Structure 1
Amino acid sequence: MNDSAHTHSAAELQREIEADRQRIEEKLHEIQERMSPGELMDELLEYAKTSGGSEYLSNLGVALKSNPIPVALMGVSLAWLLANPASRAPRQGEGNDGADDYPLAPVRGSVRRVGPVEASFGERYSHFTDESGSRFRALTDEAGRRAGHFVDPAGKVYRGFTDAAGKQIEDI
């Protein structure tokens, strides 16, 4: 069935498409204006004024002034967290011409790997212990091989282990 009332000429279709395109462009331009950094900042400031944001900041300032010790402790805690001593340990292959300034940790008996590899702050660690229960951790690569020096729970860094006779332990 060919209904001539519903057929459009190519020129009419092209005009309709052009009108639709023009409406879409106008909407996009409106959205771009609303999303400009200046407009967003104005909206944020207006929201803060009307939603009690200034009151919140005022109360926060009073709380910080009246409780300086918890704020100081929080600052020290964050600094300590950022100053992770294990992250300062050089990895194998780094250093100064093969000479290593880190000591050997004295251990009792054999040293063995314990537990699964642990991920922490984007780094992977393996854990080690000796027969007395002393614990150490070391950076580990994706294949599960040790990729850094050993670090004890106090944060002291060691390049390896020595037995009671003072001989370096090679096999772990």
Structure 2
Amino acid sequence: MISPQKNEATATPRRAARVGALGLMRRTVIFYVLWLGLAGAGIADLIIGLFAAFAASWTSFLLIPQSPARFSPLASMRLLFRFAGQSFLAGIYTARRAMDLNIAPGFITYHTNLPAGPARNMFTTIECLFPGSMPVEERRDGTLVLHCLDVNRPSASGMARDEALLRRAGGVGTPP
């Protein structure tokens, strides 16, 4: 009879290999769809695209190892719609404020609980695309320094909402 310890030890590497293979297939499909969108769906494109997608997936696995995070399409759509809406409103806001010359530029700080690396980089990239604020410094403790057109505006509450949407969209984990 096999002991539970041996069974668990052999199940974990098998599960990890299965999860890795599924992740590789998922990335390959994403890269393949991207290839077909860019190159077209001719016979040569289908064959070459398959090799290119697999090579891109393999390279991405070497450079960006798979994390246990899960992708949420619904949360990603919410983040996309929030981004588009906020970008539009922020553009109008910035133009209006610039015309009125009623601005109070300065710096604010915001503490994020996102882990350093790709998740925090994605967050600062999203925030710098919104007119009216620009991340200018990232401190080791997770504090971001932002330049804002109006320091009297409640920027931190919007950033907290963006961070929560990014967490749900990318499955980057829960705050500590």
TM range (shorter): under 0.3
Structure 1 or 2, whichever has the larger Rg, is: 1
**Larger strand fraction of residues:** 1
Instruction: Work out which structure has the larger RCO, using CA pairs closer than 8 Å and 6 or more positions apart in sequence.
Output: 2
Give the TM-score normalised by the residue count of structure 1.
Answer: 0.25
**Larger helix fraction of residues:** 2
